[in-house]
């Protein structure tokens, strides 16, 4: 696998080649995932829940993400490294630039922000400073208390149109990648077709330009509630490397996600 850049991801969308992304938080898993063919690694603020044992992502700090980004960067040579901007680390463009600079210095190639068209000024300022940005719409975990829980978004026409509007505004502001989480499959299809940038889904059906999973979900390490959109790839494979290779292969040929992992 050659080095993955934003230009390479765009070319994959144009060629209808699926993008496989997964979270990682250390050098060992970063190396293993890259060798298994993963195109992009996300240092997600999900670490607050899966590593720190919190009940949401809200307590994660920029320092937390920077530390784990540095670990991942030390284990990765070719994958695109995307670092989450934690809760309240980008409340204005100036703060966003300061936070993003710390993550880029730690080894990120791109930062990810949750939110809609109110972030356009921030996105524009980040891209002016040479920082690639990934947007995140649909279920945005940092807004869990506003949503009243981890719930499907875009269920009615008004919600769907709002998400479409936010997606177009963020693309116009300069994002180079978009994550759609927990939205109906048809809405995700419509947005993927409408945008020129790659769209990565999680609980967004099979027709986005790629998929992302939290590594613990992909390896069946999640206890208690298991989201509908996840799949345990370790269950039918002999080891972690084979499990992630299966994930990449099933994303590539469209087997994952299936109807059972998607929302109508």
Binding residues: 45-46, 84, 112, 114
Can you say which residues are annotated as belonging to the binding site for Mg(2+)? Answer: 45, 84, 114
Q: Which residue has the tokens 């009615």?
A: 156
Q: Are 176 and 197 in contact (CB under 8 A)?
A: yes
Residue 260 bears catalytic tag: no
Q: Which residue has the tokens 């997606």?
A: 167
Rounded to a whole number, what is the distance in angstroms from the first to the last CA of the chain? 35
Nearest-5° angle of CA 108, CA 109, CA 113?
80
Quote the CA–CA distance of 34 and 38 in Å, as a whole number.
5
Helix then strand then coil, in percent of the chain rounded to 5, is: 45, 15, 40
Report CA torsion sign: 43, 48, 53, 55: negative
Candidate list 54, 77, 102, 181, residue with the active-site label: 181
Q: Is the link from the previous residue into 5 a cis peptide, with omega within 30 of 0? A: no
Q: Are 207 and 197 in contact (CB under 8 A)?
A: no
> Where in the sequence numbering do the catalytic residues fall?
181
């Amino acid at each position: 696998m050659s080095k993955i850049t934003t230009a390479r991801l765009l070319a994959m969308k144009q060629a209808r080649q699926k993008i496989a992304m997964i979270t990682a938080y250390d050098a060992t898993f970063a190396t293993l995932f890259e060798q298994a063919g993963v195109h992009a690694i996300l240092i997600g603020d999900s670490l607050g829940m899966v590593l720190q044992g919190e009940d949401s992502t809200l307590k994660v700090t920029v320092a937390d993400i920077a530390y784990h980004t540095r670990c991942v960067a030390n284990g990765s040579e070719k994958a695109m490294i995307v670092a989450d901007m934690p809760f309240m680390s980008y409340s204005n463009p100036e703060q966003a630039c300061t936070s993003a600079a710390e993550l880029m210095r730690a080894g990120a190639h791109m930062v990810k922000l949750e939110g809609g068209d109110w972030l356009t000024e921030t996105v524009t300022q980040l891209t002016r400073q040479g920082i690639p940005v990934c947007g995140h719409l649909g279920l945005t975990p940092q807004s869990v208390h506003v949503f009243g829980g981890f719930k499907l978004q875009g269920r009615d026409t008004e919600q769907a149109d709002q998400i479409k509007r936010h997606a177009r505004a963020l693309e116009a502001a300069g994002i180079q990648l978009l994550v759609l989480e927990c939205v109906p499959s048809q809405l995700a299809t419509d947005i993927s077709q409408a945008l020129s940038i790659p769209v990565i889904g999680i609980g967004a059906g099979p027709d986005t330009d790629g998929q992302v999973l939290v590594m613990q979900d992909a390896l069946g390490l999640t206890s208690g509630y298991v989201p509908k959109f996840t799949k345990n790839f370790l269950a039918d494979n002999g080891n972690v490397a084979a499990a992630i290779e299966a994930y990449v292969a099933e994303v590539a040929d469209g087997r994952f996600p299936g109807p059972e992992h998607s929302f109508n």
